[in-house]
Amino acid sequence: MRTRFAPSPTGYLHIGGVRTALFNWLLARRHGGQFILRIDDTDDSRNRADAVKPIIDGFAWLGMTWDEGPTPDASGESTGPHAPYFQGQRNDQYEAAAMRLLAEGKAYPDYTTPEQQAAARKQADLARKPYVHRGTNRDTAAEENVRQYTAAPAPLLLKVELGQSVKFDDAVKGKQDISTDTIRDPMLLRGPDASGLCRAVYNFATVVDDSDFDITHVVRAIEHLSNTPTQILMYQALGATPPTFGHIPLVNYNGNKMSKRNLPPLSNDEIAKFKTCGWTDDEIKGREDLNIATVAYYREIGYLPEALINYLCRLGWSMDGESEFIPLDTLIANFSLERVTDAPGNYDAKKLFWLQGEYMKLIPPAEKLERCLPFLRRAKLIDDAPSDDVRAKLLRVIEASGDRIKLFSDVLAFAAPLLKDEIEYDPKAREKAFKDPAAKELLREFAEVLGTCEPFDASSTDKALHDFAAAKGIKPNALVTPVRIAVTGSGVGFGLFDTLAILGKEASRKRIAVTLAAV
RNA sequence: GGCCCCAUCGUCUAGAGGCCUAGGACACAGCCCUUUCAAGGCUGGGACCGGAGUUCGAAUCUCCGUGGGGUCACCA
């Protein structure tokens, strides 16, 4: 089994595309086949490397490896027995295939002018009939067409045999049967451009490539379903066997297409989050691809690729009636086109976030630390090479944070108050906690008690606080919040006694003193 | 408009004529636990688009509506 994914180089990797690629990849992996990555850049744009890199980087991050395709450095080189894997570098093959069809009388040049075509289309519209284009030299003999084409290149069209039907069994949609009378003579090669080059049209390039690459299964978005009969006709003309097709439903957002237009701009929370990650306003604005439809967004904000993969695969496919958390090896062992759903699905950020949390619970603290490091560096909370002391402190923060760290970037919120020397107060929380003047006095007295804790660890400070509260006849919680705010500036965070222990006696008491002076 | 695809809780889905008083998950609400925030436990509300037909029996099959989507390019 050989499957493929063929993105056009747009400069970012869209998660809808990733899902399509994932289905192909899973199929190949399950059946011990190959997954091929091909870049559909038939317009041969100049900045190809820039536009391809995000796609390649995205797949690399996701761990979706390809057996043949562009080299990982995005240089425009390819690896694999059918190289190159860039359509922009393959026009010779398309031309050769087209010339063969021309010589065999299966294709012909079309000298219809755009004006003639527009008029014919209009007439059909008026008659409320579908317009099915057939070109001028359709019934001209092959040799004559070759002669005319050589003398005056023009769009080359495939001659569709009338009165036939194209039948195929879609692996997702089931049996299809289309009359050739409704299929226009499709273009194979465009007319010559300014430099005289006749570039292949997408449909034809795809067929030539998929046939050359021995692709056996083409899983793609349902919007291509109506292209399929045309492509099958091309396969037949080329004397090739069409692959098995599987057309999968779309991924929508709130019932609409997941295009940039319909997507919400980054929320204030998200922008704030990126800023705490060390991004500047300009950097955020400069990243056109920073939205929930791209892989880059999830990588930058600290998602786990396995969570994204699990989520995307479950969107439009199910293993059974209840499995939601499905690790990759299970996905590979069970994925099949039969269980792809018929209806389009809606992207649900909350469910992805939940899965992310589930996957995060599985990451051991030491590994979590390693993967948090880049975020801490970017936020300038640590040096490029943090000392062992800092690493040890961070590990304690991560252990104390537990499941609270859902995204790797969340580490910043927990580590920053303990790493920075200055306390950044949440004004509202501080005001509320010290509204009652008695709170300040209690805090002052408790700071003295803390000074006697030995050793200064979570259990000793815990006991000290509870004993102190009991002696004073107050609820422990009446003291916990003021202390928390005094040492971290924030009303929320992981366990207070862990916080104190990580800070140490000196720093804890010093921070309380600073706060006392400030309120 | 022609042709094609689709239709189960807010969302993702299970459902192949009786297992359906329609199951699970996310989200939501309430309660419990608790040191705030998470996590965890328990409980709850919540759906077969409408109408005909076939059948002893329909979420499931057929038809008609309705609603959504796709496609009709020298875009990919």
The 10s digit of each residue's pLDDT in A69-122 is: 999 998 889 999 999 999 999 999 999 999 999 999 999 999 999 999 999 998
Which nt is closest to the CA of A343, judged by C1'? B6
CA distance A371 to A376: 10
- Which nucleotides along chain B are within 7 A of a protein C-beta? 1-8, 10-16, 23-27, 35-39, 68-76
CA distance A56 to A37: 9
Residue whose C-alpha is closest to residue A6's, from A42, A60, A33? A42
Angstrom distance, A227 CA to B54 C1'? 36
Cis preceding linkage at A455, omega within 30: yes
Question: Which residues have CB under 8 Å from A230's CB, separation 6+?
Answer: A183, A186, A203
pLDDT greater than 70 at residue A472: yes
Query: Nearest nt (C1') to A414 (CA)?
Result: B37
Q: What pLDDT digit, counting tens, does each position of A373-406 carry?
A: 999 999 999 999 999 999 999 999 999 999 999 9
Place of tokens 């000298």: A111
- SS3 for A36? strand
Q: Which of residues 369-428 of A touch strand B (CB under 7 A)?
A: 402-404, 406
* Residue A306 confidence (pLDDT): 98
A51 in contact with nucleic chain B (CB within 7 A): no
Give the closest nucleotide to A170 (alpha carbon vs C1'): B5
**Closest to A154 (Cα-Cα) out of A123, A121, A117:** A117
A318 touches strand B (CB under 7 A): yes
User: What are the structure tokens assigned to A318, written together?
Assistant: 């199910």
Please name the helix (run of DSSP H) or strand (run of DSSP E) that holds residue A107, with its range, or none. Answer: strand A107-109
Any alpha helices (H) in A8-69, and if so which ranges?
15-30, 48-62
Taking residues A241-260, report their average pLDDT.
92
What the block records as the tokens of A297 is: 């967004």
Angle of helix A458-472 versus helix A477-488 axis, rounded to 10: 130
For residue A484, say whether its CB is under 7 Å from any atom of strand B: yes
Assign A178 to helix, strand or coil: strand
Measured from the CB, is A499 under 7 Å from any atom of strand B? no
Integer Cα distance of A496 and A446 in angstroms: 14
Q: Does nucleic acid strand B have an atom less than 7 angstroms from the CB of A176?
A: yes
Contact at 8 Å (CB) between A300 and A22?
no
**If you count them, how many residues does chain A have?**
519
Question: Are the C-beta atoms of A16 and A44 separated by less than 8 Å?
Answer: no
- Residue A128 is predicted with a pLDDT of 82
> What nucleotide is nearest A133 when CA is compared to C1'?
B72
- pLDDT band of A146, cuts 50, 70, 90: very high
How many C-beta atoms lie closer than 10 Å to residue A396's C-beta? 17
C1'-nearest nucleotide to the CA of A44: B76
Q: Which residue's entry shows tokens 């939940």?
A: A354
> What is the pLDDT, as a whole number, of residue A45?
53
A58: closest CA among A7, A1, A3? A7
Burial of A385 (0-12, 13-18, 19+ CB in 10 A): exposed
Considering all nucleic acid strands, name the nucleotide whose C1' atom is nearest to the C-alpha of residue A345.
B12
pLDDT digits (tens, 9 = 90+) for A161-204: 999 999 999 999 999 999 999 999 999 999 999 999 999 999 99
ipTM of the complex: 0.96
- Other beta carbons within 10 angstroms of residue A486's beta carbon come to 28
Q: Could you say which DSSP state residue A60 is in?
A: H
> What span, in angstroms and rounded, lies between the C-alpha atoms of A122 and A162?
23
**What is the pTM assigned to this prediction?**
0.95
* pLDDT at site A513: 95
Q: Which H or E element spans position A286?
A: helix A281-286
Which residue reads 């499957």 in tokens?
A3
A156, β-bridge pairs: A109, A189
CB-neighbour burial class of residue A514 (10 A; exposed 0-12, middle 13-18, buried 19+): middle
Q: Please give the pLDDT value at position A50.
A: 84
User: Which residues from the 198-257 window of protein chain A have CB within 7 angstroms of nucleic acid chain B?
Assistant: 199, 201-203, 222-227, 249-250, 252, 255-257
Give chain A's end-to-end CA distance (angstroms, integer).
Answer: 70
- A131 sits within 7 Å of strand B by its CB: yes
Write down the pLDDT at residue A120. Answer: 92
**DSSP assignment of A124-146, as one string?**
HHHTT-------TTTTS-HHHHH
pLDDT band (50, 70, 90) for residue A47: low
CA-nearest of A323, A303, A363, A212 to A18 is A303
